[in-house]
């Protein structure tokens, strides 16, 4: 039976194989990348640059022995069409950033290997059976460990001991909403913090939610890695300053933009590890044999100028452990 007929006979499971073989024979491998953010966003470009740097260290040179098909999704409506577009190109592996992006790629292919980053709950999202044995075509690097929301709330209480309320600001359509809310609820009572859901779907909602929340004193903001807030991070930071609300953020780049403080993963470390998984898959490894790796390197950033404007004093213990202090 001719090879093309055999592919049709066996169905979608093997349909990508002939192209992958031709790619290997020609010396040019193919990797798809789908990023959940606009191409113009400097942080999305930094994400891509960090992956490229790590990938090049492993011997891959774009245009010489590998082709990177990169797609940026400026909004959630573009995730599925771009996932379909990438799968149609039949790459040998796809790097997918964020829970909804991985879900979109998974709907398009159960055979092409997928390496993920920035996924909140890979087991709960149905991507892997377990961390040690993923069980399918997907593996990668989760966004945080389970106790991260407790750490965020503890930081809020540390810089603002008078704080008794924290707004959980997020879009309920955010795939990680229930995951972060569940752990935040578990951590809040021990810190004597009342956790208040502030559900938003666009920036107008954000403005109304913060204005309403700020009417009662002793409040602060718990900001989870929600795409709605990330897309509007500069005006969000301005609102927190206007209403004099201490806030903790999941990314260092919020603090460099004027936010009070952040605690989150070291993205360079994660992307270098993601590059190593893509490399190993190209060299014959299967996702099922590559365990999901929890993050091990975190970074803390503090903005002293913002703290002063809010009338807050950053405790020496927090300053001593901060990886970056902006004065």
Asked whether the beta carbons of 51 and 13 are under 8 A apart, the reply is: no
Q: Are 94 and 117 in contact, with CB atoms under 8 Å apart?
A: no
pLDDT bin (cut points 50, 70, 90) of residue 228 is confident
CATH at residue 215 = 3.40.50.2300
What is the pLDDT confidence band of residue 1, given thresholds at 50, 70 and 90? very low
CA–CA separation, 183 and 150 (whole Å):
7
CA dist., res. 154 & res. 266, Å (int): 20
User: Length of the chain in residues, anyone?
Assistant: 327
Same domain, 164 and 247: yes
26-30, 289-293, 310-314: the lowest-pLDDT one? 26-30
Task: Answer whether 323's CB lies under 8 Å from 300's CB.
Answer: yes
d(C-alpha 88, C-alpha 149), whole Å? 38
User: Which of 71-75, 148-152, 201-205 is the least confident region?
Assistant: 201-205
Residue 36 has pLDDT above 80, yes or no: yes
Sign of the CA dihedral with 225 first, then 226, 231, and 234 last:
negative
Per-chain mean pLDDT for the chain: 90
Most confident listed range (110-119, 195-204, 266-275): 110-119
What contacts 67, CB < 8 A, 6 or more positions away?
Answer: 28, 29, 30, 31
What pLDDT is stored for residue 84 in this prediction? 98
Return the pLDDT at 2: 41
**Stretch 178-203: mean pLDDT, rounded?**
93
pLDDT in tens, 66-116: 999 999 998 889 999 999 999 999 999 999 999 999 999 999 999 999 999
Q: Do 118 and 155 belong to one domain?
A: no
Backbone φ, ψ for residue 33 (5° rounding): -135, 125
Whole-number pLDDT of residue 40 = 92
Asked whether residue 7 carries a pLDDT value surpassing 80, the answer given is no
b/e 127-164 (16+ beta carbons within 10 angstroms → b): bbeeeeebebbbbbbbbbeeebbbbbbbbbbbbbeebe
pTM value? 0.82
Do both 19 and 29 map to the same domain?
yes
Per the structure, how many domains does the chain have? Answer: 2
| Statement to judge: residues 24 and 98 lie in one domain | yes
pLDDT class of 3 with cuts at 50, 70, 90: very low
Domain co-membership, 319 together with 196: yes
- The residue-averaged pLDDT of 212-239 equals 91
Query: How many beta carbons lie within 10 A of that of residue 213, not counting itself?
Result: 19
Transcribe 85-125 into DSSP letters.
HHHHT--SEEEEESHHHHHHHHHH-SSS-EEEEEES-TTTT
Which residues span the domain enclosing 170? 148-265+299-326
pLDDT at 71: 98
Same domain for 211 and 177: yes
Alpha-carbon span 105 to 79, nearest angstrom: 8
Question: Region 144-160: what's the mean pLDDT?
Answer: 92
Do 165 and 304 fall within a single domain? yes
Does residue 170 share a domain with residue 308?
Answer: yes
For residue 19, what pLDDT is reported? 45
The DSSP letter of residue 65 is: T
Report the DSSP pairing between strands 93-97 and 138-142: unpaired
Does the structure show a pLDDT above 80 at 26? no
User: Mean of the pLDDT values across residues 51-72?
Assistant: 97
- For residues 163 and 307, membership in a common domain is answered with yes
The answer to whether residues 45 and 99 belong to one domain is yes
pLDDT of residue 74: 85
**320 and 271 share one domain:** no
Asked if 172 and 261 sit in the same domain, the reply is yes
């Amino acid at each position: 039976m001719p090879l093309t007929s055999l592919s049709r006979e066996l169905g979608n499971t093997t349909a990508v194989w002939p192209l992958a073989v031709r790619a290997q024979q020609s010396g040019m491998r193919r990797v798809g990348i789908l990023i959940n953010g606009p191409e113009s966003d400097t942080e999305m470009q930094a994400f891509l640059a960090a992956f490229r740097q790590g990938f090049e260290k492993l011997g891959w040179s774009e245009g010489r022995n590998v082709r990177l098909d990169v797609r940026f999704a400026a909004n959630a409506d573009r995730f599925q069409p771009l996932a379909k577009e990438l799968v149609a190109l039949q790459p040998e592996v796809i790097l997918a950033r964020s829970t909804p992006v991985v879900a979109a790629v998974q709907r398009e292919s159960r055979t092409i290997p997928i390496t993920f980053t920035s996924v909140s709950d890979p087991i709960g999202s149905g991507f892997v059976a377990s961390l040690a044995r993923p069980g399918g075509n997907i593996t990668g690097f989760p966004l945080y460990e389970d106790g991260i929301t407790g750490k965020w709330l503890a930081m809020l209480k540390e810089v603002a001991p008078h704080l008794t309320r924290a707004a959980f600001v997020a879009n309920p359509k955010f795939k990680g909403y229930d995951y972060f809310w569940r752990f935040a609820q578990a951590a809040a009572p021990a810190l004597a913090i009342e956790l208040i859901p502030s559900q938003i779907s666009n920036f107008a909602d954000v403005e109304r939610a913060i204005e309403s929340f700020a009417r009662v004193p002793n409040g602060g903001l718990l900001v989870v890695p929600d795409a709605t807030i990330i897309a509007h991070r500069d005006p969000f930071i301005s609102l927190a300053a206007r209403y004099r609300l201490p806030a903790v953020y999941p990314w260092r780049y919020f603090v460099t933009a004027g936010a009070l403080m952040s605690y989150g993963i070291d993205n360079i470390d994660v992307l270098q590890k993601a590059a190593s998984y893509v490399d190993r898959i190209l060299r014959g490894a299967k996702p099922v044999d590559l365990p999901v790796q929890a993050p091990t390197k975190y970074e803390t950033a503090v903005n002293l100028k913002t703290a002063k404007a809010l009338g807050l004093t950053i405790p020496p213990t927090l300053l001593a452990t901060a990886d970056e202090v902006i004065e």
